[in-house]
Chain A
Amino acid sequence: MRIIIIGFGKLGKGLCRAFIQKAGFLRDTYGLIPRVVAVVDEFGAVANEKGLNPTKLLKVADSFGTVARYKGGKRGKLAIKVIDEVSADLVFELTPTDIHTGEPGISHIKRAMQAGKHVITSNKGPLVVAFGELDLLAKTQGVEFRYSASVGGAVPVIGLAKKLLVGNEIKEIRGVLNGTTNYILTRMSAEGVPQDTVIREAQELGIAEKDPTLDINGIDTACKITIIANSLLGMDAKLRDVKVVGIRRINPDAMKLAQEAGQTIKLIGVARRGYLEVCPKLVPLGHPLAVGGTLNAVTFELDLAREISITGFGAGPMETTSSLLGDLIDIHCTLGA
C-alpha cells in the first residue's frame, strides 16, 4: 500500500518505526506492505513513488529537523501539492490539533478524499470542527476514513464500539480521557500537594505541555466527547455543545475529603444522546474508572452487554501507533474483503 505521511513529529516518526519493526509481521500476517511514498513536515517534503527508506527518513529528520534534507526533498509548505500530485492509496494526517479552525487538517483530509485517497488521522481538530462534512465526503468519494487514535490513544474506544459492540445500543459512554489531568489528580490525591506544584512536576516529566490550559480546563476531554458523540452516537455535535468544567478548582482539601469517604476525584467525560458533559466527579476507589497516573479508562453502557470498561495508555507515540496501525490494517482488510 502506497502511503503519504503528513506531519512528521512524534506520531509520524513512531509510525515509521513501527513500519520498520513490524514489516515482517504485516507482510506475513496480512499481506500488507506499507510503502511510504511521501512525507511532509512543517519545513518541507520528500516524495518518491518507488518508496522512501523509513530508516533513512528517521535519520534525516532527527539529524536535520526536516525530511526536506532527504535526497530529492524540497523546502516549503507542500502538503496540499504532495496530496494532489503524488500517487498514493492512503494519507496519514498527523499534524497538530487546532480545535478552533481544524486547519490545516481539514484541508489535508478533504484534498486527500477528493483525490480518492483513504485517510487515517489522529488529529482532533478536523473531527471536532467538521466531522459530519468529512464523514459524508468519505462516503461520497468511496474512500475509507479512520480516526481511532484521536480518542483514547492506544485504548480502542472507537474500534471496540464500531466493530465488536455493534449488536448493542449504546446508552452512554463515560470515561477518563485525558492522561495529563488524570496524572495531576492522581498525584494530588497521593501526595496532598497543590495543583500548581503537580503541574510543574508533570511539565518536567513531559506529561503536561508548556501550556496545559486545554487539558486543565477540560477542553481536550470535551473534544474527545464531541468525537465520540459524532462517531458512535450518531450526533452532529460541536465542541460548544459540551458542558465543560475543568479541574482548576480542585484543591488538596477537596481531594482529602473525597478520600475520607472512600472516593477519589476524576475528570469524567460523559456522552449520552442529547447530553454531553465534562466535569470532575466523585468516583469510588476500586471503580473501573478510578484509574491512576496517565491512564485512560472508558465505560460503555449498553442494552445487551450492560457495562463494558476498558483501560490503557491514552497518549505517547508508541501507544498511539497501536491505533494508527490498527486503522491501517483494518482498511487493508476492508479493501481486500
Chain B
Amino acid sequence: MVMELEDVPGQLIKALEPVARFGGNIKSIMHQRERKTPLGRLPVTLIFEVDERTRLKQILAALKEAGVRVVQIGEREGAIREIVLLVGHIVHTDIKDTIDKLNAIKGVTVSDLNLAIGSLGQESSARMTISADDKDQASLAISRLRDIASKKKLLLITPIEVVQ
C-alpha cells in the first residue's frame, strides 16, 4: 500500500504500529523523500503480509483512526497455499471435474498440478497446490476436496497442520 505522511517527526512509527498490532508481517518500506506531493506530504510504500482479509480491514480502520492517509492498496490474492496429494484413479474419475469444483469456490484456485500416471491397473498419484485468499477459504477448499475424494474413492493426503 502507498501512504502519504506529513513531513514531521513520528509519522512513520504512527503508520507502522497498526500493521504490527494486527499481525501484519512487514516485508519492505520505501520512504520516497524526493517525491513529495504538492501538499508537502511524503509517499511511503509499504509491503506487508496478512493471513486473513479481516486483519487487513482492521489495519486499514486503525490507520484511518490514526489519521494516516492511505492512497493506494494493491492486494496480491491467493496468499495461502496448501499442498495436497491424491492417490487413486484420478484421471478416470475426471480430474477436470475435480479441479472445476475447487475453482468454483470464490477466492480459490488450483494453481499447480503434478500427475504421475500409475502403470496399467495401478493407481495414479497427483500433487495439487490450492491457492486461496485466506485460511477460511483454504480450509473450505480442503473440506470440499475431502468430499470429492470420498465420492471418487481417492485417497486424500492433507498437510499435518491443516485445521479440519
Point out residues on A near B: beta carbons under 8 Å. 174, 245, 249-251, 253-254, 256-258, 260-261, 263, 265-266, 268, 275, 279-284, 287, 289
Checking B127, B155, B158, B160 against A257 with a beta-carbon cut-off of 8 angstroms, the contacting residue is B127
7 further A-B pairs in the complex, CB-CB below 8 A; given A251-B118, A254-B116, A263-B83: A245-B155, A249-B155, A250-B87, A251-B123, A253-B125, A283-B160, A289-B160
Asked if A251 and B127 make an inter-chain contact with CB atoms under 8 angstroms apart, the answer reads no
Known: A251-B87, A257-B85, A263-B83. A287 touches B160 (CB 8 A): yes
117-138 of chain B: CB within 8 A of chain A: 118, 122-127
Asked if B85 and A282 make an inter-chain contact with CB atoms under 8 angstroms apart, the answer reads yes
Q: Give me 21 A-to-B residue pairs in the complex whose CB atoms sit less than 8 angstroms apart, sorted by A's number.
A: A251-B118, A251-B125, A253-B118, A253-B125, A254-B85, A254-B87, A254-B116, A254-B125, A256-B116, A258-B85, A258-B127, A261-B83, A261-B127, A263-B159, A268-B160, A281-B157, A282-B84, A283-B159, A284-B159, A284-B160, A289-B160
When chains A and B are docked, how far (Å) is the Cα of A257 from the Cα of B128?
10
Known: A249-B123, A282-B160. A257 touches B88 (CB 8 A): no
Q: B113 to nearest A CB, angstroms?
A: 10
| Residues of chain A within 8 A of B122, CB atoms compared | 251
Nearest residue in B to A262 (C-beta to C-beta)?
Answer: B83
| Residues of chain B within 8 A of A279, CB atoms compared | 157
| Residues of chain A within 8 A of B85, CB atoms compared | 254, 257-258, 265, 282
When chains A and B are docked, how far (Å) is the Cα of A289 from the Cα of B160?
9
Nearest residue in B to A268 (C-beta to C-beta)?
Answer: B160
Residue from B122, B126, B127, B164 having most chain A Cβ neighbours under 10 A: B127
| Residues of chain B within 8 A of A283, CB atoms compared | 159-160
Contact with A along B143-164 (1 / 0, CB 8 A): 0000000000001011110001
B114 near A: Cβ within 8 Å? yes
Contact with A along B75-87 (1 / 0, CB 8 A): 0000000011101
| Residues of chain B within 8 A of A257, CB atoms compared | 85, 114, 116, 125-127
Residue from B85, B87, B158 having most chain A Cβ neighbours under 10 A: B85
When chains A and B are docked, how far (Å) is the Cα of A289 from the Cα of B159?
12
When chains A and B are docked, how far (Å) is the Cα of A70 from the Cα of B84?
58
Contact with A along B83-95 (1 / 0, CB 8 A): 1110110000000
Residue from A250, A257, A260, A284 having most chain B Cβ neighbours under 10 A: A257
| Residues of chain A within 8 A of B116, CB atoms compared | 253-254, 256-257
Nearest residue in B to A272 (C-beta to C-beta)?
Answer: B164
Checking A253, A260, A266, A268 against B124 with a beta-carbon cut-off of 8 angstroms, the contacting residue is A253
When chains A and B are docked, how far (Å) is the Cα of A174 from the Cα of B83?
20
When chains A and B are docked, how far (Å) is the Cα of A279 from the Cα of B127?
17
Known: A253-B118, A265-B85. A281 touches B158 (CB 8 A): yes
| Residues of chain B within 8 A of A281, CB atoms compared | 157-160
Q: A14 to nearest B CB, angstroms?
A: 33
When chains A and B are docked, how far (Å) is the Cα of A105 from the Cα of B158?
37
When chains A and B are docked, how far (Å) is the Cα of A251 from the Cα of B155?
11
Q: B131 to nearest A CB, angstroms?
A: 14
Q: A333 to nearest B CB, angstroms?
A: 37
| Residues of chain A within 8 A of B87, CB atoms compared | 249-251, 254
Known: A256-B116, A260-B127. A265 touches B160 (CB 8 A): no
Nearest residue in A to B124 (C-beta to C-beta)?
Answer: A253
When chains A and B are docked, how far (Å) is the Cα of A235 from the Cα of B101?
37
When chains A and B are docked, how far (Å) is the Cα of A261 from the Cα of B159?
12
| Residues of chain B within 8 A of A268, CB atoms compared | 160
Nearest residue in B to A246 (C-beta to C-beta)?
Answer: B155
When chains A and B are docked, how far (Å) is the Cα of A234 from the Cα of B157?
29
Residue from A261, A279, A282, A284 having most chain B Cβ neighbours under 10 A: A282
Contact with A along B55-88 (1 / 0, CB 8 A): 0000000000000000000000000000111011
Asked if A282 and B157 make an inter-chain contact with CB atoms under 8 angstroms apart, the answer reads yes
Q: A54 to nearest B CB, angstroms?
A: 44
